[in-house]
Chains A and B, each alone.
Chain A
Amino acid sequence: MLIQRPEDILSSEITPRTLFDGRREFIKAAGAGVLAGAALFAGLSRRAWAGGKFTDLQKSPHSILETPNSLREITTYNNFVEFGFGDKGQPAERAGAMRTRPWTVSIEGLVRKPRTLAIEDILKIAPLEERIYRLRCVEGWSMVIPWVGFPLAALIRQVEPLGSAKYVEFITQMEPAAMPGLNLPYLDWPYTEGLRLDEALHPLTIMAVGLYGEVLPNQNGAPLRLVVPWKYGFKSGKSIVRIRFTDKQPRTSWNIAQPEEYGFYANVNPDVSHPRWSQDKERRIGEFFKRRTLPFNGYADQVAPLYADMDLRKFY
Chain B
Amino acid sequence: MQPGLRQLTAIKATLFVASLVPLAQLAWLGFADGLGANPIEFITRHLGTWTLNFLLITLAVTPLRHLSGWHWLIRLRRMLGLYAFFYATLHFLTYLWLDQFFDWASIAKDIAKRPFITAGFTAFLLLIPLAATSNAAMVRQLGGRRWTQLHRTVYAIAIIGVIHYWWLVKKDITMPLLYAVLLGTLLGLRAMRLTRGSGSGNSAPIPARADRGKQSAVPPDCFSAKAHDRAAIRCGFRLGFPSMAVDDLEGGRQTPFMPGFLPRTENAPSLAEPHRAEQAVAHAEVALVAQQAARASVGKRDRLHVHHRVGEARRHQHVAQIVHVVKMPQGRRAGRAQLLERIGSQRAEHQQAARLQHAMQLAEGRHWIVEPVQHEVGPGQAERAALQGQRPHIGRDAAGCTTAQTLQ
Binding site for B on A (CB under 8 A): 69, 72-73, 76-77, 81, 84-89, 139, 141, 184, 186-187, 257-258, 273, 275-278, 280-281, 283, 285-286, 288-290
Expressed in whole angstroms, the Cα–Cα distance for A77 and B42 within the complex equals 11
Q: 17 additional contacts, CB 8 Å, given A73-B37, A273-B113?
A: A72-B37, A76-B37, A84-B172, A85-B171, A86-B172, A139-B170, A141-B41, A275-B113, A278-B110, A280-B106, A281-B106, A283-B40, A283-B99, A286-B37, A288-B40, A290-B100, A290-B101
- Is B70 an interface position by the 8 A CB rule? no
- Is B114 an interface position by the 8 A CB rule? yes
B40, B103, B109, B114: the one contacting A275 at CB < 8 Å is B114
Q: Which residues of chain B are within 8 angstroms of A288 by Cβ–Cβ distance?
A: 40, 98, 101
- Is B184 an interface position by the 8 A CB rule? no
- Is B205 an interface position by the 8 A CB rule? no
**CB nearest to B40 among chain A residues:** A283
Grouping DSSP codes into helix (H, G, I), strand (E, B) and loop, the B interface class, with mixed when no group exceeds half, is: helix
Grouping DSSP codes into helix (H, G, I), strand (E, B) and loop, the A interface class, with mixed when no group exceeds half, is: loop
Q: Which residues of chain B are within 8 angstroms of A69 by Cβ–Cβ distance?
A: 37
**CB nearest to B110 among chain A residues:** A278
Q: Which residues of chain A are within 8 angstroms of B36 by Cβ–Cβ distance?
A: 76-77, 88-89
Q: Which residues of chain B are within 8 angstroms of A273 by Cβ–Cβ distance?
A: 113
Expressed in whole angstroms, the Cα–Cα distance for A257 and B37 within the complex equals 27
**CB nearest to A70 among chain B residues:** B37
Q: Which residues of chain A are within 8 angstroms of B174 by Cβ–Cβ distance?
A: 85-86
**CB nearest to A76 among chain B residues:** B37
**Whole-angstrom distance between the Cβ of B25 and the nearest chain A Cβ:** 15
- Is B116 an interface position by the 8 A CB rule? yes
Check B114–A285 contact: CB distance below 8 A: no
Q: Which residues of chain A are within 8 angstroms of B41 by Cβ–Cβ distance?
A: 141
Binding site for A on B (CB under 8 A): 36-38, 40-41, 45, 98-101, 103, 106, 109-110, 113-116, 167-172, 174-175
Q: Which residues of chain A are within 8 angstroms of B169 by Cβ–Cβ distance?
A: 85
Q: Which residues of chain A are within 8 angstroms of B109 by Cβ–Cβ distance?
A: 278
Q: Which residues of chain B are within 8 angstroms of A89 by Cβ–Cβ distance?
A: 36
**Whole-angstrom distance between the Cβ of A222 and the nearest chain B Cβ:** 19
> If the complex has contacts A281-B106, A285-B38, are A276 and B171 also in contact, measured as CB distance less than 8 A?
no
A184, A280, A283, A290: the one contacting B172 at CB < 8 Å is A184
Q: What are 11 A-to-B residue pairs whose CB atoms are below 8 Å?
A: A81-B171, A85-B169, A86-B174, A88-B37, A184-B172, A276-B114, A276-B116, A278-B114, A281-B106, A286-B37, A288-B98
Check A283–B171 contact: CB distance below 8 A: no
**Whole-angstrom distance between the Cβ of A249 and the nearest chain B Cβ:** 22
A72, A141, A186, A277: the one contacting B38 at CB < 8 Å is A141
Q: Which residues of chain B are within 8 angstroms of A84 by Cβ–Cβ distance?
A: 172
**Whole-angstrom distance between the Cβ of A19 and the nearest chain B Cβ:** 13
Check B167–A257 contact: CB distance below 8 A: no
**Whole-angstrom distance between the Cβ of A138 and the nearest chain B Cβ:** 9
Expressed in whole angstroms, the Cα–Cα distance for A290 and B102 within the complex equals 11
Q: Which residues of chain A are within 8 angstroms of B115 by Cβ–Cβ distance?
A: 275
Expressed in whole angstroms, the Cα–Cα distance for A166 and B4 within the complex equals 78
Q: Which of A72, A88, A276 has the most CB of B within 10 A?
A: A276
Expressed in whole angstroms, the Cα–Cα distance for A84 and B169 within the complex equals 13
Expressed in whole angstroms, the Cα–Cα distance for A49 and B308 within the complex equals 82
Expressed in whole angstroms, the Cα–Cα distance for A77 and B110 within the complex equals 24
Q: Which residues of chain A are within 8 angstroms of B38 by Cβ–Cβ distance?
A: 77, 88, 141, 283, 285
Expressed in whole angstroms, the Cα–Cα distance for A117 and B38 within the complex equals 37
Expressed in whole angstroms, the Cα–Cα distance for A4 and B229 within the complex equals 80
Q: Which residues of chain A are within 8 angstroms of B171 by Cβ–Cβ distance?
A: 81, 85, 186-187, 257-258
Q: Which residues of chain A are within 8 angstroms of B98 by Cβ–Cβ distance?
A: 288
Expressed in whole angstroms, the Cα–Cα distance for A288 and B169 within the complex equals 23
Q: Which residues of chain A are within 8 angstroms of B99 by Cβ–Cβ distance?
A: 283
Q: Which residues of chain B are within 8 angstroms of A77 by Cβ–Cβ distance?
A: 36-38
Expressed in whole angstroms, the Cα–Cα distance for A277 and B100 within the complex equals 12
Expressed in whole angstroms, the Cα–Cα distance for A285 and B41 within the complex equals 10
Q: Which residues of chain A are within 8 angstroms of B45 by Cβ–Cβ distance?
A: 87
Expressed in whole angstroms, the Cα–Cα distance for A290 and B110 within the complex equals 15
**Whole-angstrom distance between the Cβ of A23 and the nearest chain B Cβ:** 16
Expressed in whole angstroms, the Cα–Cα distance for A280 and B99 within the complex equals 14
B37, B101, B103, B167: the one contacting A276 at CB < 8 Å is B167
